[in-house]
Structure 1
Amino acid sequence: MTMNPDDNQDADRFWRTQNGHDLAYRQITDDGPTVLWLGGFKSDMTGTKAQVLADMAQHAGFGFVRFDYFGHGATGGDWNAARVGLWRQDVLEVVDNLTQGPLVVIGSSMGGWMTTLLMKDRSKRIKGVGFIAPAPDFTHELMLPNLNPEERHALTVSGAFVMTGYDQDVAMSQAFFDEARDHLVFGTPLAFDGPVRILHGMKDDVVPWSHGVKLAEHISGDDVRLTLIKDGDHRLSGPQDLELLTAMVQELINA
C-alpha cells in the first residue's frame, strides 16, 4: 500500500507492517506540518479528542494522522502478544510510511510515552510536541508500584494479573513488564529543543499531575510549558479542556 496524497477521506485504511499485522489508520492530507495523534492505553482512534482534532484539521487545513496500535481498536490482534516495543514500532511505521515533512506530535496518556520514544527515534522530523496527561514509563512508575496484594500475588504466582476498569478486563503479564523495561525513558534526560506543551488535570486519578511535572523537568529544552487544570480529570474531554487542546495544537502548528 502506498500513501495517496489526493485521498482526504477520513475513513479507516490499513497499512501492512513489517511485523505482519494490518495497522488501521485514518489520514487527512494538506499543506504544512502534519499533526500525529498518539492515543492512550486501550483507547482507539475514534475517541473524542482525536475526533475533535480531525474536525479541526478538516476546517483549518492541516494534515492529520491517527491510528490504532496493535491490540487496539480496528487494528486488533492477540493482546497477549502486545508489547511496548511493538507499539513503538507501530509509531515508526506510521511516521516513516504515511507522513512526510515536519510533524506536530500530540500524545495522550500512554501516547505520551510513545511520543517521548519518537522524540528519541525521529527527533529531526518533529516540529513541536503536545502532551495530555502524559504517562511515560507507566508500567514501572505507576502500574507496578500500585498493584494491590491480590494482583501482586497473581503476577508472582501465575505470571499475570487481570486489570479492571476498562470495557473488558485486561490481562497484564510479567513478560509485558519485562519487555517494557527496554523502553523506559526517565533514566536519562530527553533532548529536544522544540516547543513542548503539556496539559494535565489536577484531579487525574490515573496519572497524577506530578508525573507531568516530572516529564517537564526531564526534557532538556527551555521551551516547555505545563498547564495544570484544577478540575481536570484524566480524560480532559470536557468543552473547556477541548478548547485548551485545540489552542495548544494551533500554537504548535504556528510555532
Structure 2
Amino acid sequence: MAYRVFRNYYKVLLNARTFSFLPRIADGTRYKSTIQYATRPDLPRLAYRKLTGKSPGVVFLPGFASTMSGQKAEALEEFCKSLGHSYLRFDYTGCGASDGQMEDYNIGVWKKDVLYVLDKLLEGPQILVGSSMGGWLMLLAALARPEKVAALVGIATAADHFVAAFNALPIEVKKEVEERGSWAFPSRYSAEGFYPLSFAFLREAEKHCVLASPIPVTCPVRLIHGLQDEDVSWHVSLQVAERVLSTDVDLILRKGGHHRLSEKEDIKLIVYTIDDLIDKLTTLG
C-alpha cells in the first residue's frame, strides 16, 4: 500500500527548536501578527494574518464555522515564527473578521478563498494544514494548484462531509429538507446545537466531492485523526490515504484524540509533523 498507519503515535522529541515556543502558549503570552484585509473585485474582503519568512511556508485552513484565532492556528504561528518560516492564517468569506455572512457562501467560494491566498498573498510552495473542513479544502486546492502545494497536513480531515452526512439521512428526512430548502445540521460547537445549511449549499457541495475516485495529489500527505472523533470518523482519513496517488502518505491515529485535536499533546504532534515535513522538503530542495 502507498501509505503507512501509526497507532498510539509518539516519538521522542529531541529537537528543542520544535517546542521552544510551547511554554509561551501555555502561559497565554502568544505572539500575534497584524490582521490585514485583502480587497477583491468579485468577493468580500478577506481577513488574514501573515508572517514573512523562509520557504516552504505554512498556511492554516480552519474548519467549518471556525476562525483563524483558534488554538491550533495561533500555535502554528508561534512555531513558524520560531523557525523563521512564513505563515499565513485567514478567515473564509463570511467567517470571523472577513466580510459577509457565512450562510450566504459555500464550499466553492471557500475554495476560491484558498486559491486567492495561494495566488495573490504568497510566493513559493506552501504546506497546507487543513482542520476538518479545511482538510477537504486543502485537497481541492492541491488539485487546482499542484505547483503551489509542497505538502498537505490534514487534521481530522472532513472530505465530502456535508454531502455524506446528508446522504446518510433517511429518505423521508432528505425529502423534507429538499421541500423546506434547509437543513439543521447537528453540531456540538453551535450554541443552538446546529448550523442551518441550505439545500442549495448541499447541492453545490456535491460538485466538490473527492472520495468517489482516485485523488491525483502526488505531494507528501500527513493525516492525523482521533479515534474518539464523534464528528468525523477516522475512516474518512483512511479513505483519503487510500485514494491519493502520492506514495508518501502517513496516517496517524491518536487513540484518545477527539475531533478538534487542540490539546497540548495534539498540538505537539501537529507541530512535530510539520517540522518533519519542513526538514524533508528542505533536504529534497
Per the alignment, in what secondary structure is the counterpart of residue 211 of structure 1?
helix
**1:122 corresponding residue in structure 2:** 145
Q: Which runs of 5+ in 1 are unaligned?
A: 1-7
User: Equivalent of 1:163, from 185, 192, 197?
Assistant: 185
Name the amino acid aligned to 1:111: G
1:207–1:234 contact (8 Å) kept in structure 2:
yes
**1:172 corresponding residue in structure 2:** 197
**1:195 corresponding residue in structure 2:** 220
Q: In the TM superposition, what whole-angstrom CA distance separates every residue of 1:60-119 from its partner, at most 9, and x where no partner exists?
A: 110000101012111141233211110010111111010001111111100011011011
**1:29 corresponding residue in structure 2:** 52
**1:40 corresponding residue in structure 2:** 63
User: Equivalent of 2:240, from 203, 215, 219?
Assistant: 215
1:240 has 2:265 as partner:
yes
**1:206 corresponding residue in structure 2:** 231
Q: In the TM superposition, what whole-angstrom CA distance separates every residue of 1:149-185 from its partner, at most 9, and x where no partner exists?
A: 8964641331102234314552111100111111111
Deviation at 1:18, TM superposition (A): 3.7
Q: Does the C-alpha gap of structure 1 residues 9 and 161 become closer, same or farther in structure 2, counting only changes over 3 Å?
A: closer
> How many aligned positions are there?
247
Name the amino acid aligned to 1:41: F
Tell me how far apart the structure 1 counterparts of residues 53 and 173 of structure 2 sit (CA, whole Å). Answer: 47
1:198–1:226 contact (8 Å) kept in structure 2:
yes
Tell me how far apart the structure 2 counterparts of residues 109 and 9 of structure 1 sit (CA, whole Å). Answer: 23
TM-score by length of 2: 0.82
Q: Percent of pairs identical after alignment?
A: 34
TM-score by length of 1: 0.91
Deviation at 1:140, TM superposition (A): 1.5
Tell me how far apart the structure 1 counterparts of residues 133 and 63 of structure 2 sit (CA, whole Å). Answer: 4
Deviation at 1:139, TM superposition (A): 1.7
Name the amino acid aligned to 1:38: L
User: Equivalent of 2:106, from 67, 83, 88?
Assistant: 83
Deviation at 1:148, TM superposition (A): 7.1
Per the alignment, in what secondary structure is the counterpart of residue 33 of structure 1?
strand
Aligned pairs for 1:73-112 (under 5 A) are 73-112=96-135
Q: In the TM superposition, what whole-angstrom CA distance separates every residue of 1:161-218 from its partner, at most 9, and x where no partner exists?
A: 2234314552111100111111111233112332111100000000001111001001
Q: Does the C-alpha gap of structure 1 residues 167 and 73 become closer, same or farther in structure 2, counting only changes over 3 Å?
A: farther
Aligned pairs for 1:55-70 (under 5 A) are 55-70=78-93
Deviation at 1:147, TM superposition (A): 4.2
Q: Does the C-alpha gap of structure 1 residues 244 and 150 become closer, same or farther in structure 2, counting only changes over 3 Å?
A: farther
Q: Does the C-alpha gap of structure 1 residues 149 and 244 become closer, same or farther in structure 2, counting only changes over 3 Å?
A: same
Tell me how far apart the structure 1 counterparts of residues 89 and 48 of structure 2 sit (CA, whole Å). Answer: 6
Deviation at 1:128, TM superposition (A): 1.2
